[in-house]
Amino acid sequence: MEVVFHGHACVSIKKDGYHLLIDPFITGNPQAKIQAEDLNPDFILLTHGHNDHLGDTVSIAKQNHAHVIGSHELAHWLTWQDIEATGMSIGGTCSFPFGQVKMTPALHGNGYIDHERQEIIYMGMAAGLLLTMDQWTLFHAGDTALFSDLQLIGNRYAIDLAFVPIGDHFTMGPEEAVIAAEWLNADRVIPIHYDTFPAIEQDAKQFINQLQKKDIKGIALQPEERLHFPLDK
């Protein structure tokens, strides 16, 4: 299995011939080092419908005939854009050819902002995504504050890799993200949702150092940096 970080909260996962893409904010993302048209996923998974997570979903999905997985309301909106989509809700689990997706809570807003029309479109509840693919379990926390159910998730599932926001301002900051990492008890933790804009600038190396003090293994991936599983323990 290969995992690629594309900056902000966008992650690619490739396994057994399937290509998954989470929160494809590429166009307008100053961290992105790849073009949206160069991505060819089979499935796109969305934590929520904010512009910096929904991103290039519509164009990428249409170009690749990709199937999109997201909240019930967001999936309905995407079908109106002639995109094949599966809607889920918090607590639900669905099976797909690549494995299973469970939608977990996230404490965050969820509305798509249409600047031209000056409208905000409700997209359901924001979520985290728990992916089970054979022996591997990956958790993308999405945009969230620190909340105690993260401990429940860590106790319930053996997580190999967790993506946790550290940017503060819109999500939890580094100090609370360290607590989240402790609760999730993942084999590896990757910080996301930081340094994209001035409001969320953070020192990822310092965050990794704080994890190490708690005997937690963390990796601050650079855009287009790759991880290959199995990782060294």
How is residue 72 written in tokens? 């019930």
End-to-end CA distance of the chain: 16
CATH of the domain at 48: 3.60.15.10
What pLDDT shows up at residue 232? 58
Domain assignment of residue 95, yes or no? yes
Domain assignment of residue 227, yes or no? no
Above 80 in pLDDT, residue 233?
no
The pTM of this model reads 0.97
Tens of pLDDT, residue by residue over 7-62, are 999 999 999 999 999 999 999 999 999 999 999 999 999 999 999 999 999 999 99
The boundaries of the domain holding residue 110 are 2-221
Q: What is the mean pLDDT of residues 209-219?
A: 98
Could you tell me which of 134, 188, 140, 100 has the C-alpha nearest to residue 16?
134
Do 154 and 183 form a contact (C-beta atoms < 8 A)? yes
Do 87 and 75 form a contact (C-beta atoms < 8 A)? yes
- Domains contained in the chain, number: 1
Q: In the 3-class helix/strand/coil scheme, how is 184-195 assigned residue by residue?
A: HCCCEEEEECCC
